[in-house]
Structure 1
């Protein structure tokens, strides 16, 4: 038994499961509306090898019942995926509009990727 890949596989599996659960939980009651991108906050992210990558966190607004909400996304992207000023789909929960998400960044594929990576890591940890 090799403990390092086993622990890595477990961590990847838990992380992937959480991402899938969060996606499912949020989308169960999410409502869709239109909003627009206001700006991007730019910052530098360091990788494990100390290389830097510019990341972009969008800020967007949408209106419901005459009230305009401005939200900074919790998800960052490696490019400006939607041009500033362009209309886009927004997902939100009634009564919790401050935690709205861009529909374009709300995806389950990252969760599947982490679970996919966990399977060989657990196998290597158990049998190699």
Structure 2
């Protein structure tokens, strides 16, 4: 048994299951409406190779019951995928509009990716002495 890959496998699988759970929980009662991209926050993020990449986090407005909310997206992109001023689908929970999410980027695929990555890590952690 090798502890490092086993620890990574547990971490990846727990993170993947949480992402899938959060996606299902949020989307179960989510209400879809239109929002408008108002700006982007630009920042640099380091990847695993310690290479800095410019990332873009959109800010959008959503109006629900004549109340407008400005929301900083929880999703970042490698480029400005949606032009400023463009309308886009937004998901929100009734009573928690200030935590709305862009429909684009609110996907379950990332959760499945983490779970898939955990499988070989479990194999190397349990069955190979490195």
TM-score category by the smaller chain? over 0.9
What is the TM-score when the length of structure 1 is the normalising length? 0.96
Task: State the shift of 1:74 in Å.
Answer: 1.4
Structure 1: runs of 5 or more not aligned = none
- Give 3-state SS (helix, strand or coil) of 1:105's partner: coil
Residue 33 of structure 2: aligned partner? 33
Residue 51 of structure 1: aligned partner? 51
Q: Distance in 2 between matches of 1:10 and 1:44?
A: 28
C-alpha distance after superposition, 1:28-81 (max 9, x if no partner): 110000011000000011224331100001000011121111101112111111
Q: Is the 8 A contact 2:92 2:99 kept in 1?
A: yes
Residue 126 of structure 1: aligned partner? 126
Structure 2: runs of 5 or more not aligned = none
Q: Distance in 1 between matches of 2:37 and 2:58?
A: 7
Q: Distance in 2 between matches of 1:48 and 1:112?
A: 20
- Give 3-state SS (helix, strand or coil) of 1:104's partner: coil
Q: Distance in 2 between matches of 1:31 and 1:99?
A: 12
Structure 1 segment 55-66 matched on structure 2, within 5 A: 55-66=55-66
Q: Distance in 1 between matches of 2:102 and 2:45?
A: 21
Q: Distance in 2 between matches of 1:91 and 1:52?
A: 31
Give the length in aligned residue pairs.
Answer: 128
